[in-house]
Structure 1
Amino acid sequence: MAALSLATARVPAYGRHGSLAQGSQKCARTIPSVFQAGRRAHRAGGDRRSSQRISAQAPTDVGLPPEFKTAIDAFVTENPVVAFIKGTKEMPQCGFSNTVVQILNTTGVPYTTVNILENDMLRSGMKAYSSWPTFPQIYIGGEFFGGCDIMIEAYTKGELNEALEAALNA
């Protein structure tokens, strides 16, 4: 195993008086926000007080140093299964990372984890690299597979084992 060295919120829809809006299920809408200097500047899609509309696009490789991209490309290609998590496989530091570790342990395949809490540049760089704003981030066969929810769904449907076998036999 090689060593690696080297930014939405779902909210319930509430009615005028603080109760859940009629007909809404748990989380009814997603409101992405644009932050500048740590403060919310705009809401994507507009704001009630403003007619201004802002497009909500995921960041691509904006500001990502080429050497960072090259290092990550090489790392996820060299290692068939990589999970960028909060903590380590021995001690995950969040529930989502723990879930991913438990699923991977259940499959019995060898995998590598990278603790994104140890390096701020790595954490922000991985968000830009994958265009995925949260962790954990799982790479299988050199390709971004998804986060915790996608991992759970693929595991439940039996699709995860197929992807893992393909990556290990490549």
Structure 2
Amino acid sequence: MHLRLLPLYRRKRQIPFYFSEMSFHLQLAARPCSPSAAASEASSLSWGSHHRLPICVNSTKLCSAAAISSPLKLASVATKLSSNSSSSSFRCFAALSPELKSTLDKVVTSERVILFMKGTKDFPQCGFSHTVVQILKTLNVPFETINILENESLRQGLKEYSSWPTFPQLYIDGEFFGGCDITLEAYKSGELQEVLEKAMCS
């Protein structure tokens, strides 16, 4: 008798459900633990130039965190999320805390395109992150990245926040788009270009 093995995860884009928690100031609950070990260097990947995406001029980026007294700066948030402190002062949170969820609600809407990845756009530290970075660069899309290797609490919390177990995780216009496989398939089919163009021109 033959048994049929079913895949654990379906390749299906999942859109997370967001709560409206913009009535208070930004609170950071992602306290850093010891940094995770760096993954292996990314393998080289070449892309053609025939898929470049025309980007509309978009000088104004809206942030849904309207209650914050000053505009949310992704760089400063990323710095706070990844800043190192002694392990005796802070404890790790295994699950998504309300404060971390509130922070992520603001971060994912602070830029049109945000990639949570292993490493940085200039030095990806896993092949999957490298692939998504190369796709976005090939499409000439402005995007920001946050290195999840620098904060274990952020890394674990994002898995629950996005309902997605692996990295990288690509967010477009505040919504979770997918991981490496979904992004690559959408790039090849042209769906990614359409979604990005709509986000940039909105």
Q: TM-score under structure 2 normalisation?
A: 0.55
2:144 aligned with 1:95? no
The match for 1:141 is 173
Change (3 A) 1:63 1:124: closer
CA offsets, 1:66-110, max 9 Å, x none?
111111111111111011000000000000000000000000010
The match for 2:109 is 77
The match for 1:110 is 142
List alignment gaps of at least 5 residues for structure 1: 7-61
The match for 1:37 is none
The match for 1:86 is 118
Deviation at 1:65, TM superposition (A): 1.3
Q: Following the alignment from structure 1 to structure 2, what is the Cα–Cα distance between the partners of residues 74 and 169?
A: 21
**135, 155, 175: which one pairs with 1:123?**
155
The match for 1:169 is 201
CA offsets, 1:94-146, max 9 Å, x none?
00000000000000010001000001111001111101000000000100000
List alignment gaps of at least 5 residues for structure 2: 1-72, 82-93
Out of 159-168 and 129-138, give the one that drifted further: 159-168
Q: Following the alignment from structure 1 to structure 2, what is the Cα–Cα distance between the partners of residues 123 and 64?
A: 10
The match for 2:190 is 158
One-letter amino acid of the counterpart of residue 2, structure 1: L
Q: Following the alignment from structure 1 to structure 2, what is the Cα–Cα distance between the partners of residues 166 and 71?
A: 25
Structure holding more strand per residue: 1
**Quick one: percent identity of the two aligned structures?**
61
Bigger radius of gyration among the two: 1
The match for 2:16 is none
SS in 1 for 2:136: helix
SS in 1 for 2:183: helix
Higher relative contact order (CA 8 A, sep 6+): 2
Q: 2:96, 2:158 within 8 Å by CA — same for their partners in 1?
A: no
Runs (4+) off by over 3 Å: none
Number of aligned residue pairs = 115
1:21-40 equivalent positions in 2, closer than 5 A: none
2:67 aligned with 1:2? no
Deviation at 1:63, TM superposition (A): 3.8
One-letter amino acid of the counterpart of residue 120, structure 2: T
